[in-house]
């Protein structure tokens, strides 16, 4: 495994592999890796000959009161995990390498898909995501890229951005990886104690309950959302949102829609947790 820090070096290295006929897979991360990230690498290895993993804590996707400065940076541990998983290249650039003309005047925005759900709660967040991902796509120039389904909205936005901007990249969604109790794996779980992690599984339990209600015939989705919020509140969560949406365009679901996604964002103390579950009816 090779670690590179500059775009120039990365491009030379990747071109060498292209000249050999290798297919390039890409997994963008912000580091602090866990089993969920490693599952993305496994998926990429199934679709590509060479897997590039970026580790870059992107400042433009953090709001003014969010945890950019305190976000865990565990590069040595991440490097060891990626080597064990069989990644080929780690791209770990400094901020100045990704944003050479700071502040960045150019933004990439997928307006409609990024305005609701997490986009409403974190203004500008998805603009930061799409901007940095488009820059990384231009740097790595992969044949395919893998994103986790845990952030369903982000995956939908990346798919649309890739199509709209004519990136010749296959976007692959990888399933959510969960703890034994159902808690979706996340770097922010590191902020939780063992007891809090156990309690946080109630978010997954709430999604499962909502899914069962719909499968049993519930079609008043707004009432179901309110009931789920109440369940979370009674368990000392502070719900950010609970939504039943359409999978294709992330608009709020109505009776008659068939492909649904259940979306929850809730705070446990100061830690904001997200999760989702899809279903077809």
Instruction: Report CA dihedral (99, 105, 106, 108) to the nearest 10 degrees.
Output: 90
Annotated active-site residue 243? The verdict is no
**Are the C-beta atoms of residues 139 and 182 closer than 8 Å to each other?**
no
Q: Of residues 22, 34, 37, 117, which has the active-site annotation?
A: 37
**Are the C-beta atoms of residues 75 and 31 closer than 8 Å to each other?**
yes
Instruction: Please tell me the number of Cα atoms within 13 Å of 259 on its side-chain side.
Output: 4
**Are the C-beta atoms of residues 133 and 257 closer than 8 Å to each other?**
no
Q: Which two tokens stand for residue 61?
A: 């996707």
* CA distance linking residue 157 with residue 150, whole number of Å: 13
Catalytic machinery residues: 37
């Amino acid at each position: 495994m090779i670690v590179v820090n500059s775009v120039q070096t990365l491009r030379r290295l990747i071109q060498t592999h292209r000249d050999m006929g290798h297919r390039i897979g890409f997994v963008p991360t912000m580091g602090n890796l866990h089993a969920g990230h490693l599952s993305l690498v496994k998926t990429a290895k199934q679709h590509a000959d060479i897997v590039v993993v970026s580790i870059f804590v992107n400042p433009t996707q953090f709001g003014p009161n969010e945890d950019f400065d305190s976000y865990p940076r565990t590069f040595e541990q991440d490097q060891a995990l990626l080597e064990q998983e069989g990644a080929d290249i780690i791209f770990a650039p400094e901020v100045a390498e990704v944003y050479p003309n700071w502040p960045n005047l150019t933004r990439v925005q997928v307006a409609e898909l990024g305005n609701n759900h997490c986009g409403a709660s974190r203004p500008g967040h998805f603009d930061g995501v799409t901007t940095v991902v488009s820059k990384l796509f231009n740097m790595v120039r992969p044949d395919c890229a893998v994103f986790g389904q845990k952030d369903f909205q982000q995956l939908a936005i990346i798919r649309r951005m890739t199509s709209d901007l004519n990136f010749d990249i296959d976007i692959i969604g990888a399933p959510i990886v969960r703890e034994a109790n159902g808690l979706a794996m996340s770097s922010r779980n590191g902020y939780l104690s063992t007891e809090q992690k156990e309690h946080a599984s109630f978010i997954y339990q709430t999604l499962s309950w909502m899914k069962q209600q719909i499968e049993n015939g519930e079609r008043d989705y707004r009432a179901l959302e309110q009931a789920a919020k109440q369940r979370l509140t009674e368990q000392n969560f502070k719900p950010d949102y609970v939504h039943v949406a359409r999978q294709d365009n992330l608009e709020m679901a109505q009776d008659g829609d068939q492909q649904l996604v259940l979306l929850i964002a809730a705070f446990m103390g100061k830690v904001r947790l997200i999760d989702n579950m899809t279903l077809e009816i």
